[in-house]
Each structure stands twice: as C-alpha cells, then as structure tokens.
C-alpha cells in the first residue's frame, strides 16, 4: 500500500485534533502519539511515521497559510438591493405632525405591509407604516434602489403619509418628487373614492 | 464600469489568449499564482526554451509577451516598466538581458516573441499535458523541421511555377530586344552609312540591353533599347 | 552567362521576403537599432507612448481615448463582435450629427435636458456633477448627482438615447479619482450645485483643469469601505487603526503587476488607433461645425446709430 497516497478521513480528523494548537512541537506530538489508540494496524508500514507525516503537513499548512485553515467557515452574501419590504425604515418627507415627531425622535416609521402582489415596494406604491405606535398608510415617493434611465434615485427611502382616501396628512412636501409619480398616481386613481392628485399638489419641486 | 481602462497604452498581443485567466491551483491563491508564473517567466528568459505543463506554459506565455512588448514600447528609462521588470524577473542580470538583448532582437518583429509547442507526455506518469515554451531567435536547433525548403509543399510548388513563368517572360522580352537590335543592325548595314561604327555601337548596345535586363528588378520600368540607341 | 545567373538569383531572393525574415531571426542575425534611451518623465507619458514603429506617427491624437471613451468596445473577449461594434460606431456618429454630445469627464458639472412624457412641459432639465461614466458603444451612460432641497438625487442617463435632447457642460473639469461614488457618503455641500448655474467657459485649447479638492466624508456607516479603495480625492478618513490594518490584510498589491489582468481590462493601442482612424475625421467635422454654429449665434448685428 502506498503510504504517500490519500489518507483515510479518520486519520485526517485525528490529525486535525492534534494540530489544534499551533504551538505544538514535534516532541509533544510524539508523546501524544504514544498515548493515542491506533485503530488501523497494518503489516507493511510504520503507522507512527505516517501519522507524524500527516500531522507535520497539517501544522506547516497552519503556520504558513492560516487563512486557508478556515476554509468552509465563510458564507456568501449578496449585494445590497435596496428593496422596500416589511420592516424597512422609511423617511417621512411631509410636514405632518406625527411624521415630524417620529423623525425628530429618531424612530422612523417602519413599513409593515406593501399593497401590491409582490412584497417589494418602489416609487408610487402604497404601504402600511407603523409610526409612533399607530398604523398609517403612505405612498413611497423616492427609493435608494438603482432606477432605470431617467428616473431619479434618492439618497433615502422617502414616504408621504396619507389616509385611506389618499389625502395626505401634511400640508407640504419639501423634498423633490419624481415626475413619474404623476403618471403612476393617475393610474391608481381608477379605484373609487381614492384621489392621489392632492399629494402631487403639495410637492414643491419635481425632479 | 465595463469601459476599457485605457490609462496605460499597451501593444496588441500576437498570440491567442483565453478570455478568463487560469487559476493555477496554488495554496497562496492569486498571489501564489503570480509568484509561480514569475519563476516560470524568469526561467524562460534565462534558458530561452523550457519544457513544462501546458496550462502554466500558456499562462506564462501571455505574461512574457506583455513584458517584452512593454519593454520595447517604453524602453529601459521608463520607471514603471523598470518596476514591472524588477517584479517579474527574479534574477536581476536577466533584466539587463531583457532590455539589451531581447528588445533589440524583437524590436521590429511582426510576429509573436514566443513559440509554444505541445510536448509528448511521459507515458507511465502524471497525465498532464506538456508544452515547450521558447523565445524566437533562441540559439538551440529548431524543434520542428524547416518546411520552407521542401519543394513538394504547395506554397513552394506555386512559387516555383511563378518563377518559371517570370523567367519565361523575361526570356521572351530579351529575345524580342535581341531581334529588334538585329533588325536595326541589318537596317544600318543595308543603309550602308557608318558600317563599322554602327556594328560596334549595336554590339555594345546588345550587351547593354542584356545587362540591363538582368539588373532590373521585377516591377521596375523596362528601358526600351530603341531609347538607348538614341 | 555568369551575369545572367546572378540576376536570376537576385530575382529568387526578392520573391521570398517573408521566409528570409524568419531565417534571419532564427540565426540571431536580426538586429536593428539598439534600445534608444528615452527621457524619463512620469508626466510625459503621451510623448513616450507615441513610439514610432519604422517612422510611423499616430494619425489621431492620443487624447481621443479619454475624450471619446465610449467608442472603444467592451474589453471582454466574449463580448467582442467587430461587425456589431462597427455598426454601433456608425449609429453613434449619426446620433452625434443630430445632438452635440460634448467632451466631459467624471467631476464635470452637466445640465441634461430630456424629453419626459410624465412632465406637463414634456421635458425636464437636471443639473448635476458626473460621478460615474460607464458602458460602451450606444449603451454609454453617466450618472449625475445633485443635492436639491437637502435631498440627494441621482439621475442615470444613457448618452445616445433619443430621449436626451441636450447635454450642456456647465463646468468642464476633472477630479483626482475616476469615480466619485464617495460623494454619496460625503457632506452634502460637495454635491450641491445650483440648478440655474451658468456655463463657465475655458479658453480655447486650454487643457482640462484638474480640481484637487479633498472631500470630507460624513461619519460612518458608509455605503462602501472607502478606506480599502485608494481614493485620492478624499480627506483623511479618521478611522481607528484596525480599519487600516484590515485593509492592509485584505489588500491585493500584486494586482498592479498583473500584466494579463490589465490587458484583459483594456484595449491595445493598435486597436484604439484603428477605431479612431475610422471615426476621427467625422468627429472633427462635427466639432468644427459646432464651433461655427456657436460663433454664428454669438454674432450680434451692429445697430444703426442715430
């Protein structure tokens, strides 16, 4: 049997256990080997020398390439996609009382439901938001996510609080609003009793 | 983003290279890969012909061509190129060889600076593909036979035929000139004026005509003997 | 007879120029000029890069690759298609004949007017600093950033989109970095530009100025690990030592020597020249026409006195 060939996995496991401490010296290893139980007994070769070989190889790997011994302990993360989903914190951009207080306190509203078939909100989607212990509805007016050409991308996820009929709670929106909101909200006006145009009237600037 | 980074000008590689680099398994990772390629590149510049595994040879070939093309483009007084050469060439006397020997050798070379051949694999042994990587103009005898002189190859067959045609054409022209010269001689003899002088001049012109026909390179204007006579 | 034979031999040699070249290479007799020492100068790269190959001078200026970077194709070998690239270049020139796409760099301030079906005026204008340029061919794009009413806004534009009506350069300048994405984490004053900014003109033929400004970043958290990128346009980040230590551990200093990596990410000089030779004369014509139009506009008819 070729003792330089691939070793059994149990050998490797035992060798790893012995190598756990990087400061182990050869003498200490030899002592440990004497006390270890050797399960595999063969005729042709010296088991001790093979163990020592394996262990010394592992030790040298540890000493020279410590970062490689952590193989398998990393995990893969995807890049930030900037979606507005449940529990996303949003920034209130109108001058409603409840919104201003929440932002001043440092407890921004959290999105708890998105009113579309996908659980992901973008510009123009109606969301249910938890503000200062209350549930309020809001319209997303700006997102951090990368947008297609000619649609502006903002540095924060902005929301304007509204009530069920679509009338905003505040009286002015001091940040710029994307032009595309005009078209989106016009389409949403199809539902009876809902009028989003008041929101557009509050906007000071369109981008 | 996916725009080309053109801050540095580099010469076009005259070899085929793969779109994605080979990782060349190495315990040190990407840095170890470059270190290994460095060693191979240094050996190539030192020995000018090395035999090694195919994948590493192909990777090193790209780096060798790039290094030599940069050395040719920028010369040895360009700091960035010297730093590159200092990094890639481990034996420092080979940097001198690169700039003083290899650059003049390859300065106007229209083809690649290296050649790579597939080498036979050792039969009982590791079954990796082998390759021989060499610099052009190396002092060793060529690995492949020189096919340029084999008259039975199609390119030489065609060239030989072209030569024969050209020669035949040239003989025809010379024959024409001789005939024309002869006619003129006969004419002058018939006229009866300046017998000896005309014969001498015609004789000289004949040799002249022949000499000019030989010296003319293909493509040059053919000087007509009638013009010479005047 | 002897003359005749010599002549024939000479003819033979002339008919096989290529093989003679190989033979001389093989015999190491091939030697041309010794290496000419060129003057060292880190700034005069352009002069050095115009290396003459047997007296060949570059026909197009070397700055073309910076002024018109989108004419160069995507360097990825898998994405190269010479026919598609040629057709794209033709289309790009056609578009440039209709609209003036000026020279600008990352760090220049632009004003873009585009047609917007959602706006009541059917067009919208955005002013901002160019923080990133990308894409090749007709997909060439740039991102403009501005802070409007204390809200940071970014717009992504495709240069050759027919929707874009006008691109004006309000301030033409370069910055110390190729990409200014760190402005997102910088104090808002560095990204604020007036929407009614007047264009600033440079004297004709002047080189593009480089703005050596060092931007101050907001305190962490940031969108990216700026300490790990070699940013020149940023003030001292003021982070604890462990950040810089980890950055040094994670750094890959060997990549700057990786010759094939930089080759695969770039287009070789010969190819660049081939492309710009195709395209340069038309671009020059357009430039000249634009200058004429500008002069015509600024010409004011002298009024009759009295």
Please, which residues bridge with residue C114 across strands?
C124, C164
**Is A57 within a domain?**
yes
Beta strands in chain C (DSSP E): 109-115, 123-134, 141-148, 151-158, 164-171, 174-175, 210-211
Contact C184 A155 (CB under 8 A): yes
pTM reported for the whole predicted model: 0.74
Helices assigned H by DSSP within A80-135: 97-105
My answer on whether B185 and B104 are in the same domain is: no
My answer on whether B115 and B176 are in the same domain is: no
- Total domains present in chain A: 2
- Total domains present in chain B: 2
Q: Which of B113, B126, B130, B139 is nearest to B55 (CA)?
A: B130
Domain that holds residue B184: 145-212
Per the CB < 8 A criterion, the answer to whether C224 and A79 are in contact is no
Q: Please compute the mean of the pLDDT values over residues A9-16 and round it to a whole number.
A: 59
Q: Please compute the mean of the pLDDT values over residues C126-147 and round it to a whole number.
A: 96
What residue of A is the nearest CA neighbor of C123?
A: A179
Q: What pLDDT score was predicted for residue A40?
A: 44
Domain that holds residue A183: 78-202
Contacts with C37 from chain B: Cβ below 8 Å? 75-77
My answer on whether A109 and A131 are in the same domain is: yes
A62 Cβ neighbours under 8 A, 6+ residues apart: A19, A22, A69
CA distances from A124 to A114, A121, A158, A180 (A): 11, 8, 11, 9
Chains in contact with A, counting 3 or more C-beta pairs less than 8 Å apart as contact: B, C
What residue of B is the nearest CA neighbor of A61?
A: B27
Distance of residue B123 Cα from the nearest chain C Cα, in angstroms:
32
Contact A155 C161 (CB under 8 A): no
> What would the two tokens of residue C62 be?
């070397």
Asked if the peptide bond before residue A158 counts as cis, ω within 30 degrees of 0, the response is no
Beta strands in B15-157 (DSSP E): 49-53, 114-119, 130-135
Distance of residue C282 Cα from the nearest chain B Cα, in angstroms:
22
Per the CB < 8 A criterion, the answer to whether A176 and C147 are in contact is no
Q: What pLDDT score was predicted for residue B194?
A: 62
The CATH number covering residue B104 comes to: 3.90.1030.10
CA A46 to the chain's CA centroid: 52
Q: Which of B212, B205, B173 is nearest to C4 (CA)?
A: B212
**Is B116 within a domain?**
yes
Question: Which of C55, C135, C263, C271 to probe by mutation at the B interface, max B CB count within 10 Å?
Answer: C263
- Distance (Å, whole) CA A53 – CA C18: 59
Give me chain A's average pLDDT, please.
80
CA distances from C261 to B8, C256, C265 (A): 13, 9, 6
Distance of residue B190 Cα from the nearest chain C Cα, in angstroms:
31
CA C91 to the chain's CA centroid: 19
- Distance (Å, whole) CA A39 – CA A47: 10
Contact C134 B31 (CB under 8 A): no
For C289-293, the CB contacts below 8 A with 24+ separation are: C290/C100
For chain C, say whether A153 makes contact (Cβ under 8 Å).
yes
B79 Cβ neighbours under 8 A, 6+ residues apart: C40, C42
My answer on whether A65 and A85 are in the same domain is: no
Boundary (domain end) residue, out of A51, A69, A87: A69
Q: How many CB atoms lie within 10 A of CB B135?
A: 20
Class at the top of the CATH hierarchy for domain C5-47+55-295 = mainly beta
Q: What pLDDT score was predicted for residue C27?
A: 39
Ranges in chain B, pLDDT < 70: 1, 193-230
Q: How confident is the model at residue A113 (pLDDT cuts 50, 70, 90)?
A: very high
- Distance (Å, whole) CA C196 – CA C170: 10
Indicate the pairing of strand A134-142 with strand B130-135.
unpaired
Question: Which of A62, A65, A66, A71 to probe by mutation at the B interface, max B CB count within 10 Å?
Answer: A65
Is residue A13 pLDDT above 90, yes or no? no
**Is A29 within a domain?**
yes
Q: What pLDDT score was predicted for residue B170?
A: 96
Boundary (domain end) residue, out of B92, B115, B135: B135
Q: What pLDDT score was predicted for residue C55?
A: 46
B2 versus C31: which is more confidently predicted? B2
> What would the two tokens of residue C179 be?
């990409």
B38 Cβ neighbours under 8 A, 6+ residues apart: B87, B88, B89, B90
My answer on whether A65 and A164 are in the same domain is: no
| Among C149, C153, C157, beta carbon nearest to A149 | C157
**Is B91 within a domain?**
yes
My answer on whether B23 and B123 are in the same domain is: yes
My answer on whether A63 and A151 are in the same domain is: no
Q: How confident is the model at residue C50 (pLDDT cuts 50, 70, 90)?
A: very low
**Is A2 within a domain?**
no
- Distance (Å, whole) CA A164 – CA C10: 99
Q: How many CB atoms lie within 10 A of CB B31?
A: 13
> What would the two tokens of residue C239 be?
């982070």
CA distances from A1 to A5, A30, A46 (A): 8, 24, 12
> What would the two tokens of residue C59 be?
């026909």
Residue A72: how many CA atoms within 13 Å on its side-chain side?
Answer: 1
**Is A1 within a domain?**
no
Helices assigned H by DSSP within A19-157: 26-35, 47-64, 97-105
Q: What pLDDT score was predicted for residue C291?
A: 85
Helices assigned H by DSSP within chain A: 9-18, 26-35, 47-64, 97-105, 180-188, 197-202
Boundary (domain end) residue, out of A69, A90, A107: A69
Contacts with C126 from chain A: Cβ below 8 Å? 152, 207
Q: What pLDDT score was predicted for residue A94?
A: 93
For chain C, say whether A183 makes contact (Cβ under 8 Å).
yes
> How far apart, in Å, do the first and last CA atoms of chain B sit?
74
My answer on whether B81 and B158 are in the same domain is: no
Helix (H, G, I), strand (E, B) or coil at C240: coil
Q: 3-state DSSP: chain A helix, strand, coil percent, rounded to 5?
A: 30, 20, 50
- Distance (Å, whole) CA C243 – CA C225: 9
My answer on whether B128 and B151 are in the same domain is: no
Contacts with A5 from chain B: Cβ below 8 Å? none
My answer on whether B116 and B163 are in the same domain is: no
Distance of residue A1 Cα from the nearest chain C Cα, in angstroms:
43
C214-272 pLDDT per residue, tens: 999 999 999 999 999 999 999 999 999 999 999 999 999 999 999 999 999 999 999 99
My answer on whether A109 and A171 are in the same domain is: yes
**Is B38 within a domain?**
yes
Q: How many CB atoms lie within 10 A of CB A20?
A: 8
- Distance (Å, whole) CA B154 – CA B159: 8
Give me chain C's average pLDDT, please.
84
- Distance (Å, whole) CA B42 – CA B52: 13
User: Which residue's structure tokens are 């595994």?
Assistant: B53
My answer on whether B40 and B108 are in the same domain is: yes
- Distance (Å, whole) CA C93 – CA B137: 46
My answer on whether A100 and A31 are in the same domain is: no
My answer on whether B130 and B168 are in the same domain is: no
Boundary (domain end) residue, out of A18, A48, A69: A69
B169 versus A57: which is more confidently predicted? B169
C66-92 pLDDT per residue, tens: 999 999 999 999 999 999 999 999 999
Contact C4 B31 (CB under 8 A): no
Is residue A85 pLDDT above 50, yes or no? yes
Q: What pLDDT score was predicted for residue A194?
A: 84
| Among C48, C54, C269, beta carbon nearest to B108 | C54
My answer on whether A58 and A88 are in the same domain is: no
CA distances from B106 to A133, B70, B97 (A): 78, 12, 12
My answer on whether A119 and A140 are in the same domain is: yes
C234 versus A57: which is more confidently predicted? C234
**Window B:79-118, CB contacts with C under 8 Å:** 79, 84, 87-88, 99-100, 103-105, 107-110
Q: Which H or E element spans position C291?
A: helix C269-298
- Distance (Å, whole) CA B63 – CA B80: 16
My answer on whether B60 and B163 are in the same domain is: no
My answer on whether B15 and B117 are in the same domain is: yes
| Among C116, C151, C184, beta carbon nearest to A150 | C116
């Amino acid at each position: 049997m070729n003792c330089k060939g691939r070793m059994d996995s149990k050998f490797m496991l035992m060798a790893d256990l012995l190598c756990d401490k990087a400061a182990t010296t050869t003498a200490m290893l030899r002592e440990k080997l004497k006390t270890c139980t050797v399960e595999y007994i063969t005729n042709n070769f010296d088991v001790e020398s093979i163990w020592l070989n394996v262990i010394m190889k592992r030790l040298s790997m540890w000493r020279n390439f410590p970062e490689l011994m952590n193989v398998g302990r990393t995990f893969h993360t995807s890049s930030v996609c900037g979606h507005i989903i449940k529990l996303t914190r949003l920034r209130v951009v109108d001058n409603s009382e409840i919104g201003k207080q929440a932002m001043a306190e440092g407890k921004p509203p959290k999105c708890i439901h998105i009113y579309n078939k996908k659980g992901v909100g973008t510009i123009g989607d109606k969301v249910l938001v938890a503000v200062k212990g209350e549930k309020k509805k809001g319209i997303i007016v700006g997102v951090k996510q990368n947008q297609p050409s000619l649609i502006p991308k903002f540095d924060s996820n902005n929301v304007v609080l509204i009530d069920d009929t679509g009338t905003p709670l505040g009286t002015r929106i001091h940040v710029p609003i994307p032009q595309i909101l005009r078209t989106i909200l016009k389409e949403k006006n199809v539902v009876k009793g809902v009028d989003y145009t008041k929101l557009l009237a509050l906007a000071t600037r369109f981008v | 983003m996916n725009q080309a980074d053109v801050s540095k000008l580099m010469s076009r590689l005259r070899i085929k290279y793969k779109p994605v680099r080979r990782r060349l398994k190495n315990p040190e990772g990407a840095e170890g890969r470059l270190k290994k390629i460095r060693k191979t590149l240094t050996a190539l510049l030192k020995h000018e012909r090395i035999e090694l595994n195919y994948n590493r040879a192909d990777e090193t070939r790209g780096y060798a061509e790039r290094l030599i093309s940069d050395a040719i483009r920028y010369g040895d007084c360009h700091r960035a190129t010297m730093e590159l050469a200092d990094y890639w060439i481990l034996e420092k006397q080979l940097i001198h060889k690169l700039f003083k020997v290899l650059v003049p050798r390859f300065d106007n070379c229209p083809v690649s600076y290296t050649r790579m051949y597939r080498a036979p694999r050792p039969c009982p042994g590791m079954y990796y593909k082998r390759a021989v990587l060499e610099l052009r103009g190396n002092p060793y005898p060529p690995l492949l036979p020189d096919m340029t002189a084999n008259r039975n190859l199609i390119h030489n067959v065609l060239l030989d035929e072209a030569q024969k045609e050209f020669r035949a054409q040239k003989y025809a022209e010379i024959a024409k000139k001789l005939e024309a010269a002869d006619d003129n001689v006969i004419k002058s003899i018939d006229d009866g004026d300046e017998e000896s002088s005309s014969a001498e001049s015609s004789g000289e012109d004949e040799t002249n005509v022949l000499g000019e026909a030989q010296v003319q390179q293909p493509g040059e204007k053919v000087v007509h003997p009638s013009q010479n006579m005047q | 007879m002897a003359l005749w034979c010599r002549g024939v031999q000479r003819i033979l040699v002339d008919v096989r120029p290529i093989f003679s070249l190989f033979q001389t290479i093989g015999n190491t007799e091939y030697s041309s000029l010794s290496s000419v020492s060129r003057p060292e100068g880190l700034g005069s790269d352009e002069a050095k890069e115009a290396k003459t190959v047997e007296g060949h001078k570059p026909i197009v200026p070397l700055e073309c690759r910076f002024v018109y970077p989108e004419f160069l194709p995507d360097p990825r070998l898998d994405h190269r298609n010479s026919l598609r690239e040629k057709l794209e270049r033709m289309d790009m020139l056609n578009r440039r004949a209709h609209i003036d796409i000026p020279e600008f760099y990352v760090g220049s301030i632009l004003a873009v007017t585009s047609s917007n079906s959602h706006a009541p005026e059917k067009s919208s204008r955005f002013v901002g600093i160019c923080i990133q340029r990308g894409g090749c061919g007709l997909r060439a794009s740039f991102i403009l950033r501005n802070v409007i009413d204390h809200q940071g806004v970014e717009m992504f534009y495709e240069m050759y989109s027919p929707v874009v009506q006008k691109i004006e350069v309000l301030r033409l300048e370069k910055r110390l970095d190729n990409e200014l994405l760190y402005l997102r984490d910088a104090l808002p004053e560095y990204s604020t530009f007036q929407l009614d900014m007047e264009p600033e003109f440079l004297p004709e033929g002047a080189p593009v100025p480089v703005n050596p400004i060092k931007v101050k970043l907001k305190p962490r958290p940031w969108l990216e690990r700026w300490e790990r990128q070699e940013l020149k346009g940023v003030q001292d980040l003021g982070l604890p030592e462990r950040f810089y230590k980890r950055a040094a551990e994670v750094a890959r200093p060997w990549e700057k020597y990786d010759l094939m990596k930089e080759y695969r990410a770039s287009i070789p000089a010969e190819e660049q020249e081939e492309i710009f030779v195709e395209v340069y004369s038309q671009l020059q014509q357009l430039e000249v026409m634009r200058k004429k139009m500008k002069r015509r506009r600024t010409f004011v008819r002298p009024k009759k006195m009295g």
